[in-house]
Amino acid sequence: MEFGILGPLLVRDEGGSRAVPAAKQRALLAALLVRRGQVVPTEVLADTVWDGCPPRTAATTLRNYVMRLRKALGEAGERLATEAGGYLLDVRAEEFDADRFTRLRDLGHARLREDDPGRAAAHYEQALALWRGPALVDVPSETLRRAETGWLAEARLDVVEGRAEAGLALGRHTELLGELRSLTAAHPERERLWAQLMTALYRSGRQSEALAVYGRVRQVLAEELGVDPGRELRAVHGAILRADRALAAPARPARVRAGFVTPFQLPPDLTDFTGRTAEVADLGARLAEAGGGTGCRAPLIAVVSGQPGAGKTALVQHVAHAARAGYPDGALYADLRGSRPRSATPHTVLGGFLLALGVPSAVVPADTEARTALFRSLLAGRRTLVVLDDARDGAHVRPLLPAGPGNAALVTARTRLPDLCGAHPVHLGPLPADESREFLARLLGPARAAAEPRALAQLAAVCGGLPLALRICGARLAARPSWAVRHLVERLADEDRALDELRLGSLDVRAVFTAGCAALDPPTVRAFHLLALAPSGTVGLATAARLLGESPVRAERVLERLADAGLLTAREPGRYRYEPLMRAYARELVRHRPSPARPGPRAPRRAALVG
């Protein structure tokens, strides 16, 4: 459960937010939350709910409000207990945003005192991310707002100042200028903010502006409060006049990474990785440039797409391992399971990433946006590589992407993720014939490959350049030294049994193809089956329209959906191709599970093709 007062009143469980629409019930809930775990006397609650003017029937009416509030809270209603003389709401500190906020504020202050501005900044960012608007903004109780909003607003400003202090210690003075100008205008009485603005200006090479700010704040304090600048402001002013080296911009502090765990989550590299020469070179060069940080204003985001079994994961793992030295702050990895029925949510993945980066579980944010904010804050100024395997779409990965230059993310997906703006696309087609033969030779050993060069070439051709199929064939032959390569070629030549042969332990071409079709709607799946009945593996618009009984425009949309899913390859405008094993899979489905023809102008033709 999650309860919040830092903005509109919030109650959220696993099913989402729960509404508390009645105004008096919101006031009652807020009054219980700010004294969570304590028995709140009926008189205090009545005074809060009715703003100091409770009716004579207040006790009875409160009982009714409590009953309705329990119902509104759902299962959490059991936490609202009736006690002698009052009521108690059982909420743990980690479930209440105000308590989590103060805990994070205290952690930030502690890290700042320990000269650890990197972790301090992360805690402050996390604390501020909990605020969704003015505290108690929709709670109709002036009594409660007077008692609570003042100290909460003060605590928030304290965190804002702490974050600015940490930012200055991290050398982010130029980035802070705009924010500090706005803050001093909104809170002219906060001398610490003025001192921070003067420091940021001085470190940005704007000494005269920094001195002018001091003159302005001295005038403001004299006119509005009748006081002179305090010790901190006078000290900064004097340091600027003396050009004191202690006020100069720091080199990147040695303590920035203190407590920052350097994760390395990549799966093992494949020692027999072969081929994809152009793609390896392209990604390697881009990763080297991004990790170097020179001239890069944004992180590298690369999307590797291709049909099921094309070797997307193997390629990304291989180049990620090769680029390790350029990303000394670690490598994060997540299998998003986007092609499976239950994919990993960004919320869950971010929780794992934050734990891997050393964030205590007790302060991992409860909502996804706050987790993303903290994740990006932790990676700011660092060089970390993030690998996101098997993404469903752009929305699936967007919260998991780093934002700062020097970082990089490698994403694999069945589709090209066109909605992921700014990403570098890498699409994997079949392995070329020479790389397919080289891959098989590496799996079999040079002597055995040299003994049957023609059969090896035939095996590569039968596999259609699909890395998963090549790996299964190579592993099967390596496990059976007595088999001739041509023996497996003969087995695979029979389309009826080809996919049965391409299975070894957890490696299964048919299963991978099936997962690739799982996300498609039924009409598109039927089209995938029917189009495989074309006389060759290549399908043009006219043939597709005839087989599907649709107009060329509608047929082209279906073909594009299949190509986007990696089930067809677009060779040229208007012409699409089934790779050999994908066609065998589609035709197998037609033979064993024929789809009934749906009504339409060409239904008899489709029925004949299927039957």
pLDDT tens by residue, 244-280: 988 988 754 434 343 456 889 999 888 888 889 999 9
49-53, 297-301, 431-435, 545-549 — most confident range: 49-53
CB 368 within 8 A of CB 351: no
Token readout for 168 is 């200055």
Task: List, for residues 510-529, the tens digit of each pLDDT value.
Answer: 888 888 787 788 888 888 88
Q: Which residues contact 446 (CB under 8 A, 6 or more apart)?
A: none
Q: How far, in Å, CA of 322 to CA of 595, rounded?
A: 47
Mean model confidence pLDDT for the chain: 88
Q: Which residues contact 222 (CB under 8 A, 6 or more apart)?
A: 228
**Closest to 343 (Cα-Cα) out of 376, 410, 409, 389:** 389
CB 304 within 8 A of CB 411: yes
Is residue 308 over pLDDT 70?
A: yes
Q: What secondary structure, in 3-state letters, does 163-230 show?
A: HHHHHHHCCCHHHHHHHHHHHHHHCCCCHHHHHHHHHHHHHCCCHHHHHHHHHHHHHHHHHHCCCCCC
Q: How far, in Å, CA of 490 to CA of 506, rounded?
A: 23
Q: Which residues contact 294 (CB under 8 A, 6 or more apart)?
A: none
The residue ranges of DSSP E strands in 187-313, in sequence order, are 300-306
Q: What is the pLDDT of residue 305?
A: 92
Is residue 593 over pLDDT 70?
A: no
CB 368 within 8 A of CB 347: yes
605 — pLDDT class (breaks 50, 70, 90): very low
Q: What is the pLDDT of residue 609?
A: 36
Map out the domains of the chain as residue ranges.
Answer: 2-97, 100-129+152-247, 277-428, 433-510, 520-610
Q: How far, in Å, CA of 204 to CA of 197, rounded?
A: 11
- CATH 3.30.2350.10 is the classification of domain 2-97: no
Q: How far, in Å, CA of 444 to CA of 473, rounded?
A: 10
Name which CATH class applies to 520-610: mainly alpha
Q: How many helices (H) and strands (E) does the chain have?
A: 27, 16
Q: Which amino acid is at 1?
A: M
Task: List, for residues 310-341, the tens digit of each pLDDT value.
Answer: 999 999 999 999 998 899 889 999 999 888 87
- CATH architecture of the domain 100-129+152-247 equals Alpha Horseshoe (1.25)
295 — pLDDT class (breaks 50, 70, 90): low
**Cα-based distances in Å from 400 to 332, 357, 425, 554:** 10, 14, 18, 35
CB 399 within 8 A of CB 372: yes
Token readout for 335 is 């299998």
- Rounded to 10 deg, the angle between the 453-462 and 485-493 helix axes is 30
Q: What is the pLDDT of residue 294?
A: 56
**Cα-based distances in Å from 459 to 276, 442, 491:** 19, 14, 10
Q: Residues 472, 477, 483, 487: is their CA dihedral positive or negative?
A: positive
Q: What is the pLDDT of residue 95?
A: 92
Residue with tokens 């909605």: 419
Q: What is the pLDDT of residue 587?
A: 87
**In terms of pLDDT, which residue wins out, 570 or 110?**
110
Q: How far, in Å, CA of 588 to CA of 610, rounded?
A: 11
Across-strand partners of 452? Answer: none
**Cα-based distances in Å from 345 to 16, 214, 312, 348, 385:** 15, 50, 21, 5, 20
Q: Of the ranges 147-151, 396-400, 563-567, which one carries the lowest mean pLDDT score?
A: 563-567
Q: What is the CA radius of gyration of the chain?
A: 32
Q: What is the pLDDT of residue 261?
A: 64
Question: Does 2-97 match 520-610 in CATH topology?
Answer: yes
Q: Which amino acid is at 280?
A: V
CB 452 within 8 A of CB 484: yes
Q: How far, in Å, CA of 2 to CA of 96, rounded?
A: 6
Is residue 296 over pLDDT 80?
A: no
Q: Of the ranges 31-35, 276-280, 294-298, 446-450, which one carries the lowest mean pLDDT score?
A: 294-298
- CATH architecture of the domain 277-428 equals 3-Layer(aba) Sandwich (3.40)
Task: List, for residues 79-120, the tens digit of each pLDDT value.
Answer: 999 999 999 999 999 899 999 999 999 999 999 999 888 888
CB 430 within 8 A of CB 579: yes
Q: How far, in Å, CA of 332 to CA of 377, rounded?
A: 15
CB 364 within 8 A of CB 371: yes
CB 126 within 8 A of CB 180: no
Q: Residues 342, 346, 347, 348: is their CA dihedral positive or negative?
A: positive
CB 555 within 8 A of CB 534: no
Mean pLDDT in residue range 212-239: 93
Residue with tokens 């193997």: 314
How many other CB atoms are there within 10 angstroms of residue 121's CB atom?
Answer: 27
Token readout for 422 is 């700014």
**Cα-based distances in Å from 251 to 240, 246, 362:** 19, 12, 32
CB 586 within 8 A of CB 578: yes
537 — pLDDT class (breaks 50, 70, 90): confident
**Which own/partner pairs from 502-509 qualify as long-range (CB within 8 Å, at least 24 positions apart)?**
502/468, 502/469, 502/472, 502/473, 502/581, 503/472, 504/472, 504/475, 504/476, 507/468, 507/471, 507/472, 507/475, 509/309, 509/466, 509/468, 509/469, 509/472, 509/581, 509/585
CB 606 within 8 A of CB 549: yes
CA angle 439, 440, 443 (to 5 degrees): 90
